Amino acid sequence: MIRTFLFSVLLVFFVFNNVFGQTDSTEFNKRRLGISLGLTATAYTAGILYLSEVWYKDHDRVPMHFYNDNAGWKQMDKVAHAYIAYHQSRAGYEMLKWSGVNENTAIFLGGSLGFIFQLPIEIFDGLYEGYGFSMGDVYFNTAGSLLFMVQQKYAKEQLIKFKFSYSPSPYSEINPRVLGENALESLFTDYNAQTYWLSINLNKIIPNQRIPDWLNLAVGYSGGGMLSEFENPSWIAGERVPEINRYRQFFLSPDIDFGKLKSKNRFLNGLLEALNLTKFPAPAVEYSTEYGWVFHFIHL
């Protein structure tokens, strides 16, 4: 899946940045910049080759065309685009800072990486049958990159972090061909099982020495009851499907900023920072358009 490809590139960036790239250079370092650019180019080239040789191989080339999928999946796929763009931009910034590039250049060049990396994928989609160039995806790619860039430019840090969590849903069992036939596939394809969070540092909202620096408040969004992109089918694999309502979910939950839990071990610090890709499991209050208010003792 395209989401799998994007997420894989994202993880490559974070392994590099957080394990090897902990110390920013105060002077421009050509060697570090070469390593950063080389790793980026290699990962991206491999991904593009995968898309062209594997992902699209059974689809015919067609003239460039557009596809309006803004109503699909209760916009969960759009939020996923913003999430990935945010972290790719963050990784681009960190690589340039590690290489000694000045702050403004790192923000505007590195911070644009999420948008730059995802645009060719939209172009590919527009050139193959069964897909299409989605302006909605482009808008949310842009939003994800801007969320990083604006904060870094004006706050000098990420007061709001974009996070992800996953909890298996029962809907993949009803339509496994679309939502995934196993847990790994569902991680990327079942939007019912995904939640995206904006995690805000509490000390930045309510300055108080009694509030730990690592304590965050997270606002989450997800969807449920979705068996396919736009509307639920009545029949799947020759069997009648019960009527299932599609609905939106909104969450409020405490969270941890793992990057604030510093140690003397560089590898451990890198691992903790990489954990900021995900939200810490914690109690949560949910409001859904189907079930109203629900309390979760633990929301994964």
Which residues have a Cβ under 8 Å from the Cβ of 198 and sit 6 or more positions away? 160, 161, 162, 163, 218, 219, 220
Beta bridge partners, 211, equal: none
**CA terminus-to-terminus distance, the chain:** 23
Tens digits of per-residue pLDDT, 206-224? 877 888 999 999 999 999 9
pLDDT of residue 191: 96
- Confidence check: pLDDT of 155 > 50: yes
Task: Please state, rounded to an integer, the average pLDDT across all residues of the chain.
Answer: 87
For the stretch 60-116, pLDDT in tens is 889 999 999 999 999 999 999 999 999 989 988 988 888 889 999 999 999 998 898
With a pLDDT cut of 90, the percent of the chain lying above it is 53
CB 196 within 8 A of CB 83: yes
pLDDT in tens, 174-186: 999 999 888 888 8
φ and ψ at residue 144, rounded to 5 degrees:
-65, -45
How far apart, in whole angstroms, are the C-alpha atoms of residue 241 and residue 232? 9
Q: For residue 240, is pLDDT > 90?
A: yes
pLDDT of residue 32: 85
Per-residue pLDDT averaged across 267-290, rounded? 89
Give the integer Cα–Cα distance in Å for 146 and 140. 10
* C-alpha torsion angle, residues 83, 84, 89, 95 (rounded to 10): 130
**Average pLDDT of span 192-196:** 96
Q: pTM for this one? A: 0.90
**Whole-number pLDDT of residue 8:** 52
Average pLDDT over residues 246-260: 95
Of 201 and 13, the one with more pLDDT: 201
Q: Indicate the range of 14-18, 174-178, 234-238, 247-251 predicted with least confidence.
A: 14-18
The yes-or-no verdict on residue 295 having pLDDT over 90 is yes
Is the pLDDT at 160 greater than 50? The verdict is: yes
Q: Is the pLDDT of residue 235 over 80?
A: yes
- Give the whole-number percent of the chain exceeding pLDDT 70: 91
Q: What is the pLDDT of residues 107-135, one digit of tens each?
A: 999 999 889 888 888 888 899 888 899 99
**What pLDDT score was predicted for residue 1?**
44
Q: Which of 109-118, 186-195, 261-270, 273-282 has the lowest mean pLDDT?
A: 261-270
Q: How sure is the predictor about 43, in pLDDT bands with cuts at 50, 70 and 90? A: confident
Q: Which residue has the higher pLDDT, 124 or 266?
A: 124
- Look at residue 282 in the predicted model and tell me its pLDDT: 96
Q: What share of the chain is helix, strand, coil (3-state, %, to 5)?
A: 50, 20, 30
